[in-house]
Amino acid sequence: MPDTPDDASLSPVAGVRIGVFDSGVGGLSVLRALREQLPQAELLYVADSGHAPYGEKTDAFVVARSQAIADFLMAQGADMLVVACNTATAAAVQALRNTWPDVPIVGVEPGIKPAATLSRNGKVGVLATEGTLASQRFRDLLARHGHTVSVVTQACPGLAREIELGELDSPQLRTLVATFSQPLLRAGVDTVVLGCTHYPFVRELFQAVLGPTVTIVDTSDAVARRAAALAARVPPPPRATVMPGAARLWSSGDPARLSSVAARWLGLIAPAHALP
């Protein structure tokens, strides 16, 4: 594609650099959706795997890590940020918006609103980290969108950590999925919300346990659509500064593991670097 400003095929989105971060590899589910929605954007992804999972940390810790990572991504030239972590969104997205008031920032939240619409029997289950379920942001979300249905919440301690290891069909992972599904099955829910960005990578395991009649809600695509709408309004920087369609990866844990997981789960071939 010609790198010229008068090329009609170039939209403002083609010149946008989007910073994305999560407590670990779970946010790759959002990165996957962003690549589909915004194939010409340059994506910067940080996995804070050295401090994962956020769901087991204090709010103060999550806010501090989120601020540090956002600072790093902005220093890399990000035009907007996607907080690809439910726990970080709940704890830190407002602090990030206060710090960067002119930067579009997209967070992720459990999809209670679409789940309430999709439910046939009025019983919805929410699978999430302890941190997300305990947050004021989640309580507010429940008050806004959960009043028309009966909502059963299920904390999933250890699940994000197990997924972080990168093996999606281990006996330990199957045991955790079965354990956390049982209360929802007993409650008779017909719709289940995946309230952590790690969980879509084991969606098939949950579906197998919950059964084919249970609808599973994942908000990754909705987050990507929101990011695309905001990206279209971002004035494009000089074209030479952006690599359309490229992805750059960093990890505070093992960069080689992030590269391996991105290749296996997304088909994304990109070397990962150590987060400074």
Residue 259: how many other CB atoms lie within 10 Å: 18
Instruction: Tell me whether residue 55 is annotated as binding.
Output: yes
Bond from prior residue into 53 cis (ω within 30 degrees of 0): yes
Strands 123-128 and 191-194, sheet pairing: parallel
Catalytic residue among 13, 18, 85, 258: 85
Strand order in the sheet with 247-251: 105-106, 80-83, 17-22, 42-47, 247-251, 272-274
d(CA 102, CA 100): 6
Whether residue 117 is annotated as binding a ligand: the answer is: no
Amino acid type, 240: A
Q: Is 198 annotated as a binding residue?
A: yes
Residue 87 annotated as part of some ligand binding site? yes
Q: Other C-beta atoms within 10 Å of 118: how many?
A: 16
Query: Alpha-carbon distance 199 to 110, whole Å?
Result: 11
218 is in an annotated binding site: no
Catalytic-role residue among 30, 69, 160, 196:
196
Q: Please check if 45 is assigned to a binding site.
A: no
Q: Is 169 exposed, middle or buried (0-12, 13-18, 19+ CB in 10 A)?
A: exposed
| CA proximity to 129, closest of 138, 119, 117 | 138
Q: Is 197 annotated as a binding residue?
A: yes
156 belongs to the catalytic site: no
252 annotated ligand-binding residue = no
End-to-end Cα distance, the chain: 33
Kindly list the catalytic residues: 85, 196
Binding residue ranges for substrate: 22-23, 54-55, 86-87, 197-198
Binding residue ranges: 22-23, 54-55, 86-87, 197-198
